[in-house]
Structure 1
Amino acid sequence: SGGAQGQAPEIQIHAKELLYTRERLNGILAKHTKQPLDVIEKDTDRDYFMSAEEALKYGIVDKIIEKR
């Protein structure tokens, strides 16, 4: 989470930058995971935890390395 402090204009600048960064990251995730953008937006709106198997199915990881 990001914290902004200061006068209203500074907070607005931080909020705008945060939204821009979030849009870019969501686009990158959608491109590389092949998940629809609306799914990525929903899943990144709040903390979203998944197992290694779920991450593989989602497309975030390429493979799971098993312990020897």
Structure 2
Amino acid sequence: AAGAKGKRAALKNSKIMIHQPWGGFQGVASDIDIHAKEILKTKQQMNEILAKHTGRSLEQIEKDTDRDYFMTADEAKAYGLVDEVYERKVK
């Protein structure tokens, strides 16, 4: 979504998924807390980037990225993630 406007493309049969960042952590509680805070900060940054580049509200992006959100190429275009959907022309 953050590519140059007008140059973001997907192939016709592509599947596009947006979701929140994830990771697994282990160690002492204070280290886990550090990692949890960092991943929440990353989640906020990613949601803000998606909102900026798709034209969607931050609230909509937060809702949609809460779980895996799958789209076809055409749905991703309507969502604002891509600008063009390429389809192979049959001769």
> Into which bin does the TM-score normalised by the smaller protein fall?
over 0.9
- Structure 2 residue aligned with 1:5: 26
- 1:33 corresponds to which letter in structure 2? T
Q: Which runs of 4+ in 1 moved over 3 A?
A: none
Where is the strand percentage greater, Structure 1 or Structure 2? Answer: 2
Instruction: Please say if 1:47 is aligned against 2:68.
Output: yes
Gaps of 5+ in 1: none
Q: What does residue range 23-42 of structure 1 map to in structure 2 within 5 Å?
A: 23-42=44-63
Identify the structure with bigger relative contact order (alpha carbons < 8 Å, sequence gap 6+): 2
Query: How well do the aligned residues superpose, as a CA RMSD in angstroms?
Result: 0.6
Aligned length, in residue pairs? 68
- Identity over aligned residues, as a percent? 59
Q: How much does 1:62 deviate?
A: 1.0
Once the two structures are TM-superposed, the CA of residue 67 in structure 1 deviates from its matched residue by: 1.3
Q: Distance in 1 between matches of 2:48 and 2:82?
A: 17
Normalising to structure 2: TM-score of the pair? Answer: 0.73
